[in-house]
Every structure is written in structure tokens, then in C-alpha cells.
Structure 1
Amino acid sequence: METEEQVAKGLTNASVVSKYREAANIVNRALQALVPQCQAGADISTLCSNGDQLIEQGLATVFTSAPIEKGIAIPTCISVNNVCAHYSPLPEESSTLQPGDLIKIELGAHIDGYIANAATSLVVGASAETPITGNKADVVLAAYNAIQAALRLIKPGSSNLEVTEVFNKIAADYQCNVLEGVLSHEIKQHVIDGNHVIIGKESFDQHVEEFKFGANEAYIIDIFISTGEGKPKEAETRTTVFQRALDMTYNLKLKSSRNFLTEVNRRFPTLLFSLRSFADQRNARVGVSECLNHNMLYSFPVITEKPGDLVAQFKVTVLILETGTIVITPLIFNPELCQTEKTVTDEAVKALLATQMATVAVAKPKKAKKNKKKKKAAAQEGESKEEENKAEETKAE
């Protein structure tokens, strides 16, 4: 846990930036490993468990010299076609991927409460030989271009409402709609839903306060675009994703519920988790029920558009540093797989998309060296590692 002084410094503290970056590297590698597994016939619950395992395996290899809280920030969710988000099914309630399914993969990790989340969309079986066409191509490209434009706006002096405006201009060009009710948040240590908010689409009863982005801020940018009306509903599917409500306490009556809450407090004290993560499913289900009855958990139900509609999603984690903006979870998607006659028409938005995305390398904290040989070896190792990271990010984008 950071000291109060370190937290106050935020992204001016090299240790904080390092934790964000390391969590992001783990998320990127997990997502890159999971994407090829999403083939026709693959079981969704198994894929979600694989994603969680990849995150946990990655976390086990970093910051091992001292006790530090590490874990999943959002359990792996794989939502198909008109299902928008939070589909992380139990094994007995799962389904399999089919050729042509449009899927959204979302996952995240944290180190000492510093969060990196990412999401991508893909079509099962798509390739250069079998490209994405029709309304699938339209909705995926709309979401992809929307988040690319947003990333170029997220810098000191720009406003959240500018991002909302460009989201909706691009969606309209592809004859799609931004999903209502979706918010992108500023993030801080252990906080995934900070006060600075970007709304995907304003409506009659959904508005947010305008603000200007500033240096030393971190955000998770989330965009959902639909071929339908963009008005999702809560599905009848079982909710499996939850978060501990830290401001609520209650002496649970059932022993199984108390055991469940003890495990939640130990493994997932502040961020999201899935029922899949508990070995004793009976205790977990009883515990969830009693905790919900006493407002000790927040639930994240599965949400869907109408049957036949298609929804695409992209999510990235962004740090606004004093030296520039960096996307620490770069997009993992190849837009050349999509074929459509629709395109962005607004000249200002086209100019924005044509702008080079400015990113910066984050220097690691310097350590004292005992002698010149060790200093030289460490420098060479650092240069090699930096080149690896740059190559990996370039490949991902």
C-alpha cells in the first residue's frame, strides 16, 4: 500500500506509474493469449477461467520481494452478439462460440490497487480470407474508430463532452448507436469509478458535468456501439459479477455466508469478482444472496440489446502524464479485417483520426549501482526491456 504522501503525488510518483504499467503488461499478454483461443466450439466459461488464470499467473511473477496486494480487477467476461457486457457464466450455465459470433472480451488486473483494464471485439473465424462484412463490420469499425478518436482528445485542456460528441458522430456515420448508460471513469488507487466521468451518449435523463482533462490523471475509456437502438436491458441470465460495497457492514447470520464474505474480503476487497472464482459454489451462492439482501455487494447484471442486434466494445487504460498521454493497454484488433463502404465523413473527425497518437516511454526509478560493471549491465538490460515493450505495444496496435 502506498503512503499518504505517495498517493497524493499520484502519477508524479514513479512507483505508481510502474504499478500501472506492470498491471497493464499482464493484461495485454493475457488478452493476446486468450484471443486465439476464441474459436468455434470453445466453451465460454472455460475461456473466462483461462483469462482469469492468465492474469493470476502473470501477477504471481511481479513485485515478489515484498507483500503487496495484487489481483483481478474485473473477471474475464466474454459477451456474444447482442449481449453487451458482464457475461461470465458458471460452467453448468455456459454456452459455446459459433462461427461468425461477434464477441467482446473484457478483463483487468491491479497491483496495489492500481488498475489496468482492457477489452476488444472480434468475430469468430474472421481472417484475411474470410473478412468481417455487413453490419458486423460497420459496428466494429464504428467502435474502433470512436475509441481511436477519443484517445487523441484525452489530453490536458480537452473536455469530456468533446469525447462524447466524437463518439456519437462516428457511430452515426456507420448507421449505429452508442450504447446508453455507459460511463468511462477516472481511476485512482482501489477506485475504478472516480468522479470525473465521460458518458458515451447523453439522453433526456442521462447527463454528466463537463470537466477538462488534466495532467497526472488516469482513465479507463470504454465504448460500446450497437446496430440497434442503443438502449440495453438487464437480461434474465444469472448475475455472476459482483463488487464488495465497502461502506456497508452487517453481521451475517449464516456460517456459509460468513465464510464467503471472509474470502471476498481476502481476495477481492475492493474490485470486481466472479462467482466462478469460488471453489465452494454452494457457500458462494448462499453468501451472495445474503450479502445482496443487506446491500453488502454491488451486482453487475448481464445486459443485452434486442435479439438480432450486434454490439461491439473496446476498452483501454490511459495515463495522462506531464510529458504526454500514454495508452498502457493498447488496442488488440486489426481493422483491415473489416470491409464496408461506410466511413467517417466529418472532416474534423477525419483530421483527428489522421493525427499521430502521441505516447511516451515511462522511465523506471533509478537504483544505486555498486560498480561500473553492474551499472553497465543494468543499463543494457533496461534498454533491451524497453525495446521489447515498445515492440510488443507496436505489434498490439
Structure 2
Amino acid sequence: MRVLLPKDVLKCYIKAGRIASEVREKVKGLVKEDVSILEICNFVENKIEEKGGKLAFPCNICVNDVAAHYSSSINDETVIPWNAVVKIDLGVHVDGYIADTATTVCLNHQYDGMVYAINEALKQAIKAVKPGIKNNHIGSIIQKTIERYGFKPIWNLSGHQMTRYVLHTGKSIPNVSRFGLSKIKEGEVFAIEPFLTMRSGAGEVTGLNRTYIYRFHKTHRNLNKDADKLQKLIKKRFNSLPFSKRWLSESSEKMEKAFSVILAKKSITGYPVLAERSGNIVAQAEHTVIVTKKGCLVTTL
């Protein structure tokens, strides 16, 4: 299979994908009623580093109607509830080359059909990937597959192109047919991630007034000493990749004040927690693909 990338770059993508896949499969067994979400996040992030990868973003553990961007804070006491539908979204990078993958663990057999449908939507989308195909065609396949199983796609969430040290860039892979007119090119890298909800749901997510994931945005001058020091630390450690406050030094009043300053000055930006607008259950599946001459290479299988 020909891949239009330098060998050393491809090697990094393959290694990141292998680590992400291994950790994704391993963590499934940890998702049980009353297990701490912080414990799961720490397990995922520690395993990634043990296996020789680096964290591309904080582990997301999203329960029931929460679709994206929930990651534990440093003192999070939240646990997995009874009969939950749990999305696990994790990211690995090797020298900046990213693998992004997600799965849904269903503790309530009533929703097993959702998990099957979302995995089928991802499978069919991946089959369609090749140079020259329009991204809205892939979105159409995702939408039709989800609807064929009696569910509704989340229209305002999408897959995304990735480049070195950049998680979201360039083109998107929509989950419905009406968005996106770009053509996919050989050598591009995408995270394809369909989301679905119940047919009775709104089929869209909305931001909640909670943020646990941030990224460096731009350097701001004329900050106080502590804020300037923290700004430089974040830029150096995380580049433009998302991070969690719990990855910083031990929380203190000084650090919290500095963090508030750089957030207010927009040196960093946040990713609000996203939930299905009508409160319906959400399922997710995701793989990373590299577009090849005649199709794609899935790095996270």
C-alpha cells in the first residue's frame, strides 16, 4: 500500500496508532458502574506514556448525553453511573504525529443497537475514503448508515484533518451530507468520528458552562510575572495541542490566579463540554486514517 509520506513520518503515525489502539482496547474493561472517571483518565494517560507515546489531548470520558470534551479535573469525584453509555476518546502523538480514536462502552443493553450502528457508520465511511472523494459524500454515507439503523446523526460534530502538532485543521469530515465540498487528497490524515443519538433527539450538541480542556492560542505581552511564566510553560510543554489543568504543577492559589489571567487575555482558549441538546444518549466511534493512492490506511485498528 503506497503512502505519500516520508518513511520516518509514517513510522511515527503507525506507532502512535498502535499505542492508541492498544490503550483503547485495554481501557474498555475498566469502564464499570461506580468507577472513578478520574481513575479512567489517569489509566489511559499513564498507559500511553508507558508505551512510549505522548498525550495528544486529555482523555475524554463522556457519559450518556454528554458527547465531547469532558475530562476529569484534578479533584474530580464523578463516577460512572448505573446503566451508562460511556464514550472514551483518546489521543496519542509520536513526535507530533497524532492518532485519535474513540469507542463507546454500553453498560445498558437497551442501547447496544446504538453501538452497533455507530461502528457500522465508521466502517462504511472508512471504506469510502480515497483521493478525489468529496468530504460531503463521506458525510452522506455516515448519515445514511445511521438513519438506516433508526438513529439520528449529530450534525454539528465532525471528523477533522490533522497535521503535525495540530489536532484540528483544514478539512472536516461531516456526519451529514449537507456540509463540506472539499476533496480528499492522498497523504492527508483524518480522524473520522461519527456521532449519533436517538431518532427522537435534537441531533445537535450545545456547549455547557463547564470547561476542562484548553489549548495555547497566542502569546500575550504585559502579563504579571506568574501569568507570563505559566503562559511560557504551557506553550513549551503542549505546543498547540490541548491540555488539562491537572497536567500542570500542583494546583495552588497562585497558579489558579495566573491561569485565570491568561484565560481572560485569550492566551489560551477552552473547549466547553458538549451535550446533546435534548438530553438524549449519544454514541461515538473514531479511527485515524491516512489517505493512500487507492484508499486509506487505518492507523488505529
TM-score by length of 1: 0.70
Residue 260 of structure 1 is matched in structure 2 by: 230
1:270-289 correspondence to structure 2 within 5 Å: 270-282=240-252, 283-289=254-260
Matched with 1:310 is 281
More strand, by proportion:
2
Structure index of larger Rg: 1
**Deviations 1:196-216 (CA, angstroms, capped at 9, x unpaired):** 22222366xxx43x1222222
CA contact (8 A) 2:131 2:295 kept: no
Task: Assess if the C-alpha contact under 8 Å between 2:130 and 2:293 holds in 1.
Answer: no
Aligned partner of 1:41 among 21, 31, 34: 34
Residues 299-355 of structure 1 show CA distances to partners (whole Å, capped at 9, x for unaligned) of 11101124651000111100122364211112xxxxxxxxxxxxxxxxxxxxxxxxx
Higher helix share goes to which structure? 1
Separation of aligned partners in 2, 1:280 and 1:233: 31
1:99-178, aligned counterparts within 5 Å?
99-124=82-107, 132-133=109-110, 136-178=111-153
Distance in 2 (alpha carbons) for counterparts of 1:195 and 1:86: 20
Q: Which amino acid aligns with 2:59?
A: T
Aligned to 1:281, the other structure's residue is in SS state coil
Q: Structure 1 residue 80 and structure 2 residue 63: aligned? A: yes
Where 1:240 maps in the other structure, the secondary structure is strand
2:168 paired residue number: 193
What is the CA–CA distance in structure 1 between the aligned matches of 2:98 and 2:189, rounded to whole Å? Answer: 9
227-236 or 42-51: which moved more?
A: 227-236
TM superposition shift of 1:161: 1.2
2:269 corresponds to 1:298: yes
Alpha-carbon distance in 1 for matches of 2:255, 2:191: 29
* Equivalent residue, structure 2, for 1:243: 215
- Can you give the 5+ residue segments of structure 2 that lack an aligned partner in the other structure? none
Alpha-carbon separation, structure 2, partners of 1:202 and 1:307: 22
Alpha-carbon distance change, 284 to 272 in structure 1, aligned in 2, over 3 angstroms: farther
Q: Which amino acid aligns with 1:239?
A: T
Q: 2:58–2:71: 8 Å Cα contact kept in structure 1? A: yes
**Runs of 4+ displaced beyond 6 Å:** none
Corresponding position: 1:222 with 2:197:
no
Deviations 1:137-176 (A, max 9, x none): 2322221111111000011232211111111112222332
Give 3-state SS (helix, strand or coil) of 2:99's partner: strand
1:20 and 2:13 aligned: yes
Q: Give how far 1:242 is off.
A: 0.8
Deviation at 1:263, TM superposition (A): 2.5
Give SS of 1:303's match.
strand
TM-score, normalised on structure 2?
0.91
Percent identity over paired residues: 25
| Contiguous gaps of at least 5 residues in structure 1 | 1-9, 61-70, 127-131, 331-397
Question: What is the deviation of 1:231?
Answer: 1.8
Quote the Cα distance in structure 2 between the aligned partners of 1:78 and 1:219: 21
Q: Which residue of 2 aligns with 1:269?
A: 239
**CA offset digits 1:181-239 (Å, max 9, x no partner):** 21222222222223222222366xxx43x122222221111111111111211113x31
Q: Give the Å deviation of 1:91.
A: 4.3
Q: What displacement does 1:266 show? A: 2.5
